[in-house]
Amino acid sequence: MTAPASCPFCGSPAAPGDSVCRVCGAALGQGGATALLTLPPGTSLQGGQYVLDRVLGQGGFGITYDARDTRLGMRVAVKELFVDGSTRRGLNVVPPLSQGAEVFAATRRGFLEEAQVLARFGDPSIVRVLNYFEEHGTAYLVMEFLEGETLGEAIVKRGPLPPLVAAQVADSVAHALEVVHAAGLLHRDIKPDNIFLHRTGRIVLIDFGSVRAFDSGKTVSHTRLVTPGYAPLEQYSSAAKFGPYTDLYALGATLFHALTGQMPPAATDLSLGTPLPPLPAATPSNLREAVLSCMAPRIEQRPQSAQALRRILRGEGGAKVAPAPAPPPRVQPQPVRPVPVPPAPVPSPQSGGKASGGKADREMQKRLRELAKQAQREAKRQTRRPPPPAPVPLPPPLPLPPSPVPQRDGTLGRRMVVLAATLLGALAGGALVFQTPEWQVLPSPEVSVLAGAGAGAVAGLVLGLLLWWALPVVLPVFAAGVVYGVSQNLGYRPPTVIAASVAAIVASLILMRLIRRI
C-alpha cells in the first residue's frame, strides 16, 4: 500500500512506506473517507484527559469514539460534532460549504446547549452525560460507556421480542420521553438503533444528536429529519406543529418493528390507505392499543403525552385519543416479507461498546428471560386488583320542546303598509264620490259612495303592494327630493343641499330597514 505524499491530518511530509505520520501519528493508509475523516487512535483531548481508542459509530451529526478518561481511570464514549459534508485540516474540523462558518457556529452552540440539558437529566433511562467542551473547531460530548446491544441488533439476532419484553421496552422509553419532553425538547429520531439494551438490564434511550426544542401547539421550523417507517407525517415538513406526539409515533413504529420483526410502512403510505400488517395474536390488548394509537396518521388521534401512553400501557385507559376515521375499503393485502433492520456500516453513534461472542449472547438472552418473568409477575399483580365499579346508567334525556317556527322578517310591516294603503284608498274613493256634485241626484247615493270606497280600496291594495316592493327605490328618491326642494327654498349652498340629500337617502334606507323588520 503506497503512502500519500503528505499527511491528510497535519499536512506534514510522509516518506514512502510510512504507515503512520511521524508528526501527529495519524494512519496514512488509503482506507477510504472514514480513515481520512475520523480522528486517529491515540488522539488526546482536553489536555490528555481523554484518549481515543477506536471509532464506535458515525451518523449524520457526529462521530462517536471509544475512549479512556485518564484522570478517572474509566471507559467513556466521546461524541464529536461532525455534520455531513465536513472535512478536516489537520485535526481541526472544517464545516461544509453548504453551512458556512456562521451556521456551523450556531450548530455548535446548539450542540453544547443541548449537552447542558442532557447533563441535568440524571435519569437511568437516558444516556448519562459526563462532560462537554470545545476543541479543534468543533464540540465534544463525553458520555457513559454502554455495554450491550441496540434493540435493532437484538431483533436481527433473535427475531421479534416477546410481547411482555416489548411492553417493558415501551414503558422504559416512554418514561425517558416523559423526562425529555418536560424539558421542552423532542428526540426526533426514535428507532430500534437508538434504544440500547444494557447487559445489566437497563433500557437506555441514546443518540440525542437530533434533539430540538418545541413549542406545543405552535408551528415551528426545524431541519427536516425523516427516517422512513418511524417518522410521522409532520416530520416530512420543515415547518409544522411538533409535539410529544411526534416522538410517540416513532416509539409506536419501533414497538411494531420489535413485535413483528418488520419495519412498518412509511407514514405517507399509511395516510394513502396502505394497510398496517397485523400484530401478533399474543400481543396484550393494552400494548396493541398503545402501538396502534401512537401510529395514527393524524396528530389528534395519538396520545398527546408520554404520561397518556404509559396509562394505556398500564391498562388504565386514560389517554385522550380521538376516534379513528372510517377505514378505507378492504383490499386483499399482498404478502409482506419480513424487512430486517438495515445494517448500519457502524454501530449507533451514541451507543457504547458491545459485548462480543457467545457469552454476551447468552447473557443477553438470560436477561431477556428475566425481563419476561418480571413482566409476567407484574401482569399477575395487575389481575389481582379489584375491577373498577360498573358505570351507573344515566336516565334518558328529557325531550326538548319544539322550537317555534321563526316568522318571516317583514310580514307584519308589509301587512301594515298594505292595510294602510287600502284604507286610504277606500277613504279617498268614497270622498271622491261624495265630493261629486251629482252624487245626490244619483238613484242610490249611499250605494254609489260605497262603490267608490270599494273601488278605492282595491286601488289602494294594488298601490300598497306596489309601494311595498318599490319601497327600497321610491322612499330614498322621495326623501332626497323633498329635502332637496326644502334646502333650495331655504337658500342653502349646493354642497349643503347635496349633503342633506345624501343624509336623507341614508335615513330613508335605515327607516325602510326598520319597517321591513317589523
Q: How far apart are CA 65 and CA 63, in angstroms?
A: 7
In angstroms, the Cα distances linking 354 to 127, 230, 357 are: 15, 24, 10
Q: For residue 149, with 0-12 CB atoms within 10 Å meaning exposed, 13-18 middle and 19 or more buried, which class applies?
A: buried
In angstroms, the Cα distances linking 405 to 402, 408, 414, 517 are: 9, 9, 19, 16
Strand pairing of 219-221 and 87-89? unpaired
Q: How far apart are CA 313 and CA 287, in angstroms?
A: 6
Three cell numbers written together for 319: 389517554
- Using DSSP's 3-state secondary structure scheme, residue 135 falls into strand
- Contact (Cβ atoms closer than 8 angstroms) between residue 268 and residue 233: yes
- Contact (Cβ atoms closer than 8 angstroms) between residue 6 and residue 13: yes
Ligand-binding annotation for 218, yes or no, is no
Residue from 312, 199, 184, 328 nearest 251 by CA: 312
Amino acid at 188: R
What's phi and psi for 390, nearest 5 deg? -65, 140
Q: How far apart are CA 149 and CA 153, in angstroms?
A: 6
- Contact (Cβ atoms closer than 8 angstroms) between residue 421 and residue 461: yes
Q: How far apart are CA 319 and CA 404, in angstroms?
A: 42
In angstroms, the Cα distances linking 108 to 97, 111, 130, 263, 280 are: 16, 5, 18, 33, 44
Q: For residue 161, what are the contacts with CB-CB under 8 A and spacing of at least 6? A: 154, 155, 169, 258, 259, 368
Three cell numbers written together for 410: 317583514
Q: How far apart are CA 102 and CA 85, in angstroms?
A: 16
Amino acid at 49: Q
Three cell numbers written together for 435: 265630493
Which residues contribute to the annotated binding site? 79
Which residues contribute to the annotated binding site for ATP? 79
